[in-house]
Every structure is written in C-alpha cells, then in structure tokens.
Chain A
C-alpha cells in the first residue's frame, strides 16, 4: 500500500520542518491527499527508477506543503531576522558533535527558529542552492545566505549546550 510504504519517509521530512509533532503528521496527510489527487500527473514512462522518481516527487510535495504551512501559521517566518545575534562559539576542540546520535542532531535542528530551520534543511539536507531557496521562499539570495549562516551558528550553540560544553560570549 502506497500510504504504508511512504508514511515513514514522509514523516521524516515533515518532522524536520515542522516543530509540532501532530502538525507534522497533519502535513504528511495533506501531502498524501495532494499525491492521491494528482497521481495521474506522475509520468510512469519517464526513464529511471520509478520508485525513486515517485519518492523525489513526493518529497517536493511534502516540502512545499510544510513551507506553505509555515507561511500560513507564522507570516514572518520567511522574513529575515535583522537582529544580529551575539555570536556564541563553542569550544570546537571539545565539540560533542561526534558523540551525538542522529535523533539528537535532528532534534537540535528542530530547535532552530522556523526560518533558520527551513533554510538549513533546504540547503544542507535537500541540497538546494541559494538561488533555488530564494525562489522557493520568495526571499533574496543574500537573505538565504545570511539565514543559513545564522542557522549553523545557532545549531553549534545548541549542540554545545546539549553536550555540556561551555560557550563563550
């Protein structure tokens, strides 16, 4: 069954973008509805692994659904945070990064603000360029780069806090 096959895959993606667990599941269901409604548009005759193509197509649906939801719920989500945060650097020599499990890393990513989280996910995990991110989120390329930089910075801080390493302000 298509739903059973793709549910975990969809939830993994949705969970990285949407902070609330229930809301992430709702996004998965909404993405499935879009998939079922538009399944006739999926071209089976395309060359390549059909399963991989379908997964890729569905992934785009999920991501777009999540971004739409973030826009709807928090209108300023995409606006660039103009308040420069104080840089906080962990002692990278004693980074706890390697000691973290996958779930902890994802949990750290989910702690980011929506805008940073979205840009980080799109750039680092989905592999989009800043141009693509700018078009997707309707922001400038500079804003995309800035948000990514701050996302990484905040992520370092979160990871350092979780691993008990002091940060220096």
Chain B
C-alpha cells in the first residue's frame, strides 16, 4: 500500500471512527451539568425573581396606600347608616318609632337594640332638629354649629354634655354633618304636636314604659343638651362674624430617607442602596406643589457585559466583557411636581412626576472579562464621577398622613427611569425604591 493510499485509507477510517466510535465514561449526567449551571446561570434566575419582588413591592404599597386613603374612618362608617336613616326619615316612621318605643312596656327590655338605637338616633335627631318651632332659627343654629364643630372639635361638646360616649358624639356629629335644613323641613312639615310632646322631655313622657323610654330620654337629653350647649356657645360666640381660618405656609421642607434597587435592562439586580436627603417644596394650592432638593444616593447594580459601553480609550476596550458589578455614589437633584388628592383629609394620596439630575461622586466596578479564553476579574475605582443633567425621569406615588398641625409623614414608592446612559459605562440605569419623608409645613398665617 503506497503512502498516499495508506493516508487516504487512514483519513477515511478516522472519519468513520469519529462518527461511529463510542466514547467511554459516564452517560449524560445532568446532575453535573446542573451543578455547573448553578455556578453561572441560576444566580441570574434567583436575582430576577428577587427583582420581580421589587416590581411588586412598590405596586403593593401604592395599592395599600390607595385603599388606606380612600377607605373612610371607623367613626365615619358608624355614622353613615344613622345619617342615612335620618335623611330618609318620614312622618310615618317617626310616629311608628314613637309608638313602638312607648309600647315597649316590658321591664326586661332595658337594653336598647341597635335597631332601636338607630331609631332613637333618628328620633332624637328629628327632635333636635324639629324641636324648635321656628324653622329659620333651627337652620341658623345648625349652620353655626357646623362651624363650631370645625374649629372646636370635641371639647365644647364633651365637656358640656358630661356624657361623652361615642354614640353621643356620633349623634352630634350626625347632626352637624347632615343637611339639617332638609331634615328640618321634613319635620316641620310632617311631624305634628306629638313630636313636641317628646321634645319637652321628662314631664311629657307619661307612658308606662319607663325603662324603654329611659333610653330615649337619655339620648334625647344628650342630644338636646348638646343642642343647648351649642346654642349657649353660639350665644357666647355670637359676636364672631368670621371664624378663624388657619392657612398653611406655601413653603414646606421634607427630610427624606429610603431604599433603592437599581438594575440595567432588568437582567440583574443587586443589594439595595440608600437614599437620604432634604427636599423643599412650594405649594401653589392645596393640590399642586413643586419640590426640589438634594438626595445622597448609593446605587448598587450588576450589568451584563454587552450593556456596559466601554469607552474606546479604556484598557477594557481590548477585551470581551462578561459582567460588571459595582456601585456608585451620587448627589441626586430632583425637580418634580406633585398633585395631592383630598388634601384636607387625614390621609391623602398623591402623584408626582419630574426629572432628576445625577452628580456622581464615585464609581467602583468589578469587571469580569475574557483574556485568552480565561475569565478574569479586575476592580477599578473612579473617584471623579460624571454629571448627568436632567437625565432621569422620576415617577412616584404615595400617601401622606398628617401627624400634627404642621407635620406629615409621606410614604412614596418611586421609579427613576433613564433618559440616557449614565456613568463610566453609559449604562441605562433604572431605579426603584421607597422613600419615607417627614414633611414640615408651618401654619403661619391666621386670618
């Protein structure tokens, strides 16, 4: 066999052998492969799952805030049915209530059922409103009462009544909060002298149902006492033509602290960073305000190599970059407008949008790059950072809860979305987080 033939035969056999031979060793071992993959890829999966949490967390907070803001107070809830009953009361209902109450003769019915109490409430309110014969006077009385309730919440009422139980307050509150004119109209038009009998309180109630009626009397007393006291107050304060009105300053200041999670294209996430700073606000009215200030922020993030734009003059430009993880410190200067819903409520929801500038003070990166097929790491620190003016869109929503005359707590989930690349690697850095603020807005002027 010639050399040429031998070589050809050798090559042919080698090719056939390459296809047909069976390599020794283990069969496919997924466990080993899984272990190898765990070192590289599952970390990403876990971080992505954690990042989903950072998406859901602000959404959950916003949702909770909306519910918290929109959901009415307990006292308001308890007063609503009563108020509804009062508004819907008619002559026949009033009569029926009176008849039912008077017919309750049994000594065992010392307690008043909720329904009865509700009726009593309506009954009392009717008489509180309709007890005065002069319709015009009643209307005026209650209108002024509303003013007193706003400026002097509970002290006058509770001190004067001596029975400051919750139902009593709610009764008074109901009186104040309801369109009394309408009720008065109804009573004036429909309730006959029978109602007046009850209004005269103790002597007029001559039915035998003492205990059952006692409840009514107490309630009636309470209600009337309130009215009397309020009337007294009115008489005392009748000289006040314009009630005091406190207005807040147009300026506010807020101390901010919070946490920040940053990512680039949602591929990886890193441990949370921090926000801390101070914001000043100018309030155009109860709803609209503008804020700016300065926040010190530290952002931690991990970036895929292809998302890190290496400058051409950098040593890194000669290598294939696998991954970059690091952090940056910066001063963030946000400028945003805020719209406050239900500004006078105890809890109110708000939305903010604006734009931020980044003044980086330090960048520190660990580069993982390939050198001759081998993955190497190297750390670089950049103490002089970059400046990015108006390069971040800032969106936030949250809720505010007053904690005093001049202070409020704000809880504010936010998203900071890139309008351009930032930092040494021109990365599209998105941030999400949650800020807590103590806002102080001094009530300065009194008219």
Instruction: Name A's B-contacting residues (CB within 8 A).
Output: 1, 3-4, 7-8, 11-12, 15-16, 21, 24-25, 29-30, 32-33, 36-37, 68-69, 71-72, 92-93, 95, 97-98, 100, 102-103, 105-106, 109, 120, 124-125, 152, 155-156, 159
Contact = CB atoms under 8 A, between A and B. Distances in A.
Majority secondary structure, B binding face:
helix
11 contacts: A4-B30, A25-B29, A25-B32, A33-B40, A68-B373, A72-B372, A98-B13, A103-B22, A109-B14, A109-B17, A156-B6
Contact of A152 (B2, B7, B25, B28): B7
Contact of A93 (B1, B27, B374): B1
Given A72-B374, A109-B14, A92 B6 contact: yes
Which size class do B's interface residues fall under?
Answer: 35 or more
Interface of B: 1-3, 6-7, 9-11, 13-30, 32-33, 36-37, 40-41, 372-374
Contacts of B20: 102
Nearest first, the 9 closest Cβ-Cβ pairs linking A and B are A68-B373, A7-B28, A102-B17, A105-B17, A102-B21, A15-B23, A29-B36, A92-B1, A125-B18
Nearest to A1: B30
A12 B23 contact: yes
Given A36-B37, A152-B7, A156-B10, 16 more contacts: A11-B23, A12-B19, A25-B26, A68-B372, A72-B373, A92-B3, A97-B6, A97-B10, A97-B13, A98-B13, A100-B13, A102-B16, A105-B17, A109-B17, A124-B11, A124-B14
Q: Give chain A's interface secondary structure class.
A: helix
Contacts of B29: 25
Contacts of A124: 11, 14-15
A100 B28 CA distance: 27
User: Most chain-B CB neighbours within 10 Å: which of A3, A105, A152?
Assistant: A105
B33 A29 contact: yes
Contacts of A103: 17, 21-22
B21 A106 contact: yes
Contacts of A152: 7, 10
Given A68-B373, A72-B372, A32 B33 contact: yes
B6 A29 contact: no
A139 B311 CA distance: 31
Contacts of A16: 18
A72 B27 CA distance: 27
B30 A3 contact: yes
Contact of A3 (B10, B19, B33): B33
Contacts of A32: 33, 36
A36 B11 contact: no
Contact of B41 (A30, A37, A92, A97): A37
